[in-house]
Structure 1
Amino acid sequence: MGAYRGLTITEIEQLKQQNCMADDWSAISVTKDFIPDHICHTRFSGQIKLGAFKKEFMLDGGLKKHSGLRHVTLHNCEIGDDVLIENVPNYIANYRIGNDSFIQNVNILVVDGKSKFGNGTEVSVLNETGGREVPIYDKLSAHLAYIIALYRHRPLLIEKLKKMIDTYAENHASETGTIGDHVTIINTGTIKNVRIGSYCTIDGTSRLENGSINSNEHDPVVIGHNVMAEDFIISSGAHVSDGVVMMRCFIGQACHLSHLFSAHDSLFFCNCQGENGEACAIFAGPYTVSMHKSSLLIAGMFSFLNAGSGSNQSNHMYKLGPIHQGIVERGSKTTSDSYVLWPAKIGAFSLVMGRHVRHPDTSKLPFSYLIEKGSESYLVPGVNLKSVGTIRDALKWPKRDNRKDPEHLDMVNFNLLSPYTIQKMLTAIDVLRHLQESSGETSEVYSYQSACIKNTSLVKGINLYSKAINKFLGNSIIKRLENIRFKSDEEIRERLRPDNNIGTGDWLDLSGLIAPKSEIDRLINQIESEEIKTLEPIQQTFISLHKRYYDLEWAWAYEVMQSWYHRSIDQITAQDITEIVNIWKDAVVSLDEMLYADAKKEFSMTAKTGFGIDGNTQQKNVDFEQVRGAFENNPFVKTVNEHIKAKTELGNELIDRIAHLIN
């Protein structure tokens, strides 16, 4: 806006004639292009800076309104160029308002004292009574929040991290709030101690107190009708509307909360969706979805979750209060009216159906069904590996990443098969075989972690896990050897050797980021030793680990494949590679055929119930096909068939490329 000047006597007189008043006209500064024509019924108090008012706003329906000030009281405010503010019954105090912003029919907009605008607010996730508080700030990632919430066995680490966030909050504290450029605030009640980023729209909101709305030009934020929020951070691209009530919450990038959803003491990271239901003290990692009125998520950690209608948990089992928590690992689903009594831990990519009150821990058996039968919980290991729903989810998540902000706070790995899940499958096979050995292979039912496993389910589980492991390791080997013409077995061995050994050992899922435990431990040690003293290097470490994922993954796969295939890489030959690729092809085709069969169930006669309502079987079939399409033309079915063909060709290509090395 350039340099400021004082008002001229002529301008003061004109403002008075336009029913304006000021406690001290000399306390008002204006830009050189300022003219007072579009300011009327305005009271000025304290230090005021005004830009030029030249622009017209075109409103819905074709109405034009010129920028300016009308029917408003301003106290200690700086107003940018081409701003329209009108019809503020109370006042606006202690705000810097950017260019081209539109503020109309707002009850009060004020910063009262020094505010941190939500930064540093402690959110009591998982345990409502405290102990796992996560202090939120503008750039909080799911991965850092994961460490703060769950690594309480490292008190020095927590102390250092909280100190860093406190420093950030203090550095961003101010007695003056900011409203960015191109912001629209209309028909809104109270806004108090809230910092509002550029291109934000606030329309019909009831009350916002002590928070930051980190909207920007790349990914604007929308806050809609009847929203009430207190002690919050809302990240870029978020949409919060239609009666949402929240207190002490972090809303991540591109989250969507609406339709009377309520939440307190909860963290929602990127691409979460919440409608109709309720969240209490939850850690909602990326893609946590709850859409139904009767659903309650409480005291749990989730990610890539799809909560069915009526999903519920309990954290109040004894008389000491709501102290129990649950962990639901990535990719799980809860069916309608499912219930889990915390404490419990549900393995990755599992399906929970029915009521479970005996505190199951299925974390070592991923891709399972946990089903209520009578009063017992039955576990079906690995069966989700052949579920069409699981694969469909894995395909849709990347397509539903709605983040447009070039700066991503959460590093999201969408891989269904990764060192994180494959190491669990290796453990699962050991667990299931140990059950066989300890209880006998002829036992009809095995008992495991407060759940029952049928003999047939156990045998099928080992088979499914083995296929998935063969698929993952085969994928890794083929990728490592692609596009290279080898002249000898030694060249193959040299190519298979990893560039370094970083990535061996256990892997973790830090709420979206899949990374080696050794690297997370290294980061933690750097924080505790104060080699890292600020938040930015921590985020850069997460970004680096995410970018290096496939290199690190190969180091892990290289180590595991030797024990899995009982072959030393130092002695491996083209013949061995051919055998491994053939095992891989069998696993891929077999799993895809299972998916194909599972998808076909959706086109069975049972699925056609309710179609062709007034006709015969032929009409039922025609009605079904008109609505759902033919099975062969279903996009997912086509994808499965194409996948079988493509993977078979990929394996054959490698076999042909190294065939000349086989005697």
Structure 2
Amino acid sequence: MTYKFSKKDKEFRKLKKNEIEFLKSQGCISQSWDKILIKNVDLNRIKDVSFHGKIKIKELNGNVSYHNKVKVEASITRATLIDVMINGNVYINNVGRLIANYEIEDGVIIENAGAIYMEGESSFGNGVETSPIMEGNGRSVKIFNRLNSHIAYIVAMYRHNFVMREKINKIIENYSYSKISKFGLIKKHAKIINARLIKNAHIDPYTTIENTDEINNTTIISAKESPSYIGTSVILKDCIVLKGAHIVDGTVIKKAFIGEGVKLGRQFSCEDSLLFANCEGEHGEMFSIFAGPYTVTHHKATLLIASHFSFFNAGSGTNQSNHMYKLGPYHHGFMERGCKTGSNSYILWPSRIGAFSTVIGAHYDNVDSSDFPFSYITEHGYHQTRLIPALNLFGVGLTRDENKWIERDRRTGDKKDLIIFEVFSPYTVSKMINAEKILKDIKNDIKDGKDDFVMYKNMIIKISSLDKYSQRYSIAIDLYLCGKLLDFIKNCKNINDIIENLKCEKIYNEWVDAGGLICAKERLDNIIKDIENDKIKDIEDILKAFENLYNNYYADEKSWVIDIIKKRYSIENVNKEIIIKILNEYISLLKTSYDILYRDAKKEYDISKMVSCGIDDRNVMEEDFKAIRGTVEDNAFVIKYKKDMDEKIKDINKIIELL
């Protein structure tokens, strides 16, 4: 028997008697043929299919892009369909168990799948309550498709704002309710290959699901320009996954939000956590973590538990404790942006670690180094913690970080997390100004010189180095302020233009880092008040408010910098002499900072770093090292830093000549 296809159906219609007989001859069966509706379908392409319930098939008559440039005929072969709508040219081949209660769009490939079905109603992960930062519901956040790091931050960290939390949760609940359906959806050009179980899942266009174990109560957001990939042996339960995610190698994720450009693999496990833009996880484990943008953990035996991180890099064997076997796992920690941990580091929660600090060794006291950004926190003696303030300020690693993060942004198109990448900002520099004062006050309060160390918030600080620590902060503060001043005035044409350009708008003194978005605290507080007072009523309003925060950052920073410059250098009125004096001091600071950075970089080319070279002939050790590493003078990063310094000095001299 042969069925002749002609593209003539303008509307869905039931099968004709001869068409039913033809399908039977193709190995198809159904208990209710009258519930099958078709539109422009070539029945020659349907073989060995068992139909149950209501079936609608549309446009099964063209080709499907299969692999690279290879195309195959759209078809359905060896499958059981229960209450399914096929809405376009698809390729479905060899479904082991069933596809039930799903709409499948044009260009979709489903091959060698186990079961794809809906069970009851689902919101596909929207509205799932996670417990980041603190186990239990102490800082719980409900996840949904449009969550970003800033919304999550205020919900988790501003627990005391009960009305705000209640209203945001209501907005999320309403959004989640709008997503509830008895029907699942597999959108255009998605690929499901060798997947064992997909249950109550929403799958966006261009998603690839390959050799995956289980996807359950989950939404996977994807787009052509930024497709998501879910790979071998992955388990996803109660999750939201945003576009550009790459999850492979037996990763197990439960009750989690996976942000844009996140990469997870190598048996990584994650539960009750939020991972935002460009986070990476391999080998280790996350439990109850707020992983702000660029949180990275790559090593085995690394546990991140009950804490906040962002722009973070975990050393191998990093660990923390979140309870003391008393009232339960209620303790939690906070590591500000840019922190790193050394191998086998350990921190007892609750503790708070200042921005861009490095933690080395084990720490058994509850420490707070938030007053001292850019520091080293090291183990000292027997169970003591030593704080070395400002040690990270002029290292080559810190200088690389800012550009590194921008270059490694895997997101495309619309970006949910609004990130301020700058290492030095009003947020970090205001802390440095405070640290500078604290160190001077500590020194003034010391009455005798008998002790080697002074205690500060469960950390010891070396007394003889207080001036050195303070001076490091001073140099870095002045570098930032002078550098910003240069940016503000380098395009000015005369002193009047400069004076006009250095006028302040409203000055915000307090700054926060709300999930990667550095902003004035007052502006963030105003968003919270607007939510509480119903001036912000829906998710669109919240997203717009944070976008305005982001757009106002550089203007707010400028006003803050100008105000600090006037206060720090005792300037009442800006004039030519003052500008020239500051710019000349800036030249000196640039040269000083380059010398410090150069000396730090030179350590990487020291003879001690060559011990693994010239293995069979120590006489060629230096030549072997030079062949693979070059010299400090031809290091690309050092060259770029020197070039940037020279360009700034050139701009400074132009302004001085102009004046």
Q: Give the TM-score normalised by the residue count of structure 1.
A: 0.95
Q: How does 1:139-288 map to 2 (within 5 A)?
A: 139-288=146-295
After superposition, what is the alpha-carbon deviation per residue over 1:184-242, rounded to whole angstroms, capped at 9, x for unaligned? Answer: 10111111101000000000000111010001112100000000111000000000010
* Counterpart position of 1:539: 543
Distance 1:386 1:648 in 2: 19
Q: Which amino acid counterpart does residue 416 of structure 2 have in structure 1?
A: L
Q: Secondary structure at the match of 2:609?
A: coil
Decide which of 108, 111, 125 is 2:118's aligned counterpart. Answer: 111
After superposition, what is the alpha-carbon deviation per residue over 1:126-179, rounded to whole angstroms, capped at 9, x for unaligned? Answer: 111221110000011101101000101111111011001000000111111111
* Counterpart position of 1:482: 490
Following TM superposition, by how much is the alpha carbon of 1:65 offset from its aligned partner in structure 2, in angstroms? Answer: 4.3
Q: Secondary structure at the match of 1:607?
A: helix
Distance 1:388 1:496 in 2: 32
Pair 1:455 & 2:463 matched: yes
Q: How does 1:44-193 map to 2 (within 5 A)?
A: 44-57=51-64, 65-193=72-200
Distance 1:652 1:29 in 2: 78
Pair 1:398 & 2:406 matched: yes
* Counterpart position of 1:530: 534
Following TM superposition, by how much is the alpha carbon of 1:338 offset from its aligned partner in structure 2, in angstroms? Answer: 0.6
Q: Contact 2:64/2:90 (CA < 8 Å) preserved in 1?
A: no
Following TM superposition, by how much is the alpha carbon of 1:57 offset from its aligned partner in structure 2, in angstroms? Answer: 4.9
* Counterpart position of 1:369: 376
Decide which of 494, 500, 508 is 1:494's aligned counterpart. Answer: 500
Following TM superposition, by how much is the alpha carbon of 1:325 offset from its aligned partner in structure 2, in angstroms? Answer: 0.4
Following TM superposition, by how much is the alpha carbon of 1:379 offset from its aligned partner in structure 2, in angstroms? Answer: 0.8
Distance 2:415 2:242 in 1: 10
Decide which of 596, 599, 609 is 1:597's aligned counterpart. Answer: 599
Q: Secondary structure at the match of 2:653?
A: helix
Q: Which amino acid counterpart does residue 289 of structure 2 have in structure 1?
A: I
Following TM superposition, by how much is the alpha carbon of 1:440 offset from its aligned partner in structure 2, in angstroms? Answer: 4.2
Distance 2:94 2:231 in 1: 19
Q: Which amino acid counterpart does residue 635 of structure 1 have in structure 2?
A: A
Q: 1:634 to 1:2 in 2, by over 3 A?
A: farther
Following TM superposition, by how much is the alpha carbon of 1:13 offset from its aligned partner in structure 2, in angstroms? Answer: 1.8
After superposition, what is the alpha-carbon deviation per residue over 1:434-485, rounded to whole angstroms, capped at 9, x for unaligned? Answer: 1111124845322111111113432222111111111121122222212121
Distance 1:248 1:657 in 2: 61
Pair 1:383 & 2:373 matched: no
Q: Contact 1:371/1:377 (CA < 8 Å) preserved in 2?
A: yes
Q: How does 1:572-583 map to 2 (within 5 A)?
A: 572-583=574-585
After superposition, what is the alpha-carbon deviation per residue over 1:252-276, rounded to whole angstroms, capped at 9, x for unaligned? Answer: 0000000000011010000000000
Greater shift after overlay, 446-455 or 264-273?
446-455
Q: How does 1:432-443 map to 2 (within 5 A)?
A: 432-440=439-447, 442=449
Q: Contact 2:490/2:651 (CA < 8 Å) preserved in 1?
A: no
* Counterpart position of 2:424: 417
* Counterpart position of 1:609: 611
Q: Contact 1:504/1:559 (CA < 8 Å) preserved in 2?
A: no
* Counterpart position of 1:554: 558
Distance 2:248 2:371 in 1: 39
Distance 2:610 2:240 in 1: 47
* Counterpart position of 2:27: 19
Q: Contact 1:115/1:193 (CA < 8 Å) preserved in 2?
A: yes
Q: Which amino acid counterpart does residue 417 of structure 1 have in structure 2?
A: F
Q: Which amino acid counterpart does residue 23 of structure 1 have in structure 2?
A: Q
Q: Secondary structure at the match of 1:519?
A: helix
Distance 1:67 1:356 in 2: 62
Pair 1:637 & 2:638 matched: yes
Q: 1:556 to 1:71 in 2, by over 3 A?
A: same
Following TM superposition, by how much is the alpha carbon of 1:60 offset from its aligned partner in structure 2, in angstroms? Answer: 5.9
Distance 2:118 2:465 in 1: 62
Q: Which amino acid counterpart does residue 425 of structure 1 have in structure 2?
A: M
Distance 1:197 1:322 in 2: 37
After superposition, what is the alpha-carbon deviation per residue over 1:403-454, rounded to whole angstroms, capped at 9, x for unaligned? Answer: 12x1111011110110000110111111111111112484532211111111
Distance 1:76 1:587 in 2: 72
Q: Which amino acid counterpart does residue 499 of structure 2 have in structure 1?
A: R
Q: Which amino acid counterpart does residue 514 of structure 1 have in structure 2?
A: I
Distance 1:2 1:104 in 2: 30
Distance 1:114 1:636 in 2: 55
Q: Secondary structure at the match of 1:299?
A: strand
* Counterpart position of 1:471: 479
* Counterpart position of 2:4: none
Q: Contact 1:129/1:321 (CA < 8 Å) preserved in 2?
A: no
Q: Which amino acid counterpart does residue 522 of structure 1 have in structure 2?
A: N
Distance 2:498 2:194 in 1: 68
Q: Give the TM-score normalised by the residue count of structure 2.
A: 0.96
Unaligned runs of 5+ in 1: 659-663
Q: Contact 1:108/1:190 (CA < 8 Å) preserved in 2?
A: yes
After superposition, what is the alpha-carbon deviation per residue over 1:38-73, rounded to whole angstroms, capped at 9, x for unaligned? Answer: 101111122211122334456569987432111111
Q: Contact 2:256/2:272 (CA < 8 Å) preserved in 1?
A: yes
Distance 2:17 2:511 in 1: 72
Distance 1:257 1:87 in 2: 29
Distance 2:464 2:648 in 1: 30
Following TM superposition, by how much is the alpha carbon of 1:513 offset from its aligned partner in structure 2, in angstroms? Answer: 0.2
Distance 1:457 1:26 in 2: 87
* Counterpart position of 1:661: none
Distance 1:217 1:61 in 2: 14
Q: 1:40 to 1:297 in 2, by over 3 A?
A: same
Q: Secondary structure at the match of 1:613?
A: coil
Distance 2:26 2:491 in 1: 77
Pair 1:335 & 2:336 matched: no
Distance 2:176 2:69 in 1: 43
Q: Which amino acid counterpart does residue 9 of structure 1 have in structure 2?
A: K
Q: 1:514 to 1:62 in 2, by over 3 A?
A: closer
Distance 2:445 2:314 in 1: 36
* Counterpart position of 2:568: 564
Q: Contact 1:255/1:270 (CA < 8 Å) preserved in 2?
A: yes
Q: Which amino acid counterpart does residue 441 of structure 2 have in structure 1?
A: H
* Counterpart position of 2:415: 408
Q: Which amino acid counterpart does residue 480 of structure 2 have in structure 1?
A: F
Q: Contact 1:527/1:533 (CA < 8 Å) preserved in 2?
A: yes
Distance 1:221 1:58 in 2: 18
Following TM superposition, by how much is the alpha carbon of 1:494 offset from its aligned partner in structure 2, in angstroms? Answer: 2.4
Pair 1:513 & 2:513 matched: no
Q: Secondary structure at the match of 1:545?
A: helix
Q: Secondary structure at the match of 1:185?
A: strand
Following TM superposition, by how much is the alpha carbon of 1:284 offset from its aligned partner in structure 2, in angstroms? Answer: 0.3
* Counterpart position of 1:4: 12
Q: Contact 1:207/1:228 (CA < 8 Å) preserved in 2?
A: yes
Distance 1:609 1:408 in 2: 46
Q: Which amino acid counterpart does residue 150 of structure 1 have in structure 2?
A: M
Percent identity, please.
38
Q: Which amino acid counterpart does residue 593 of structure 1 have in structure 2?
A: D
Following TM superposition, by how much is the alpha carbon of 1:548 offset from its aligned partner in structure 2, in angstroms? Answer: 2.4
Distance 1:176 1:390 in 2: 50
Decide which of 553, 563, 586 is 1:584's aligned counterpart. Answer: 586
Q: Secondary structure at the match of 2:239?
A: strand
Q: Secondary structure at the match of 1:386?
A: coil
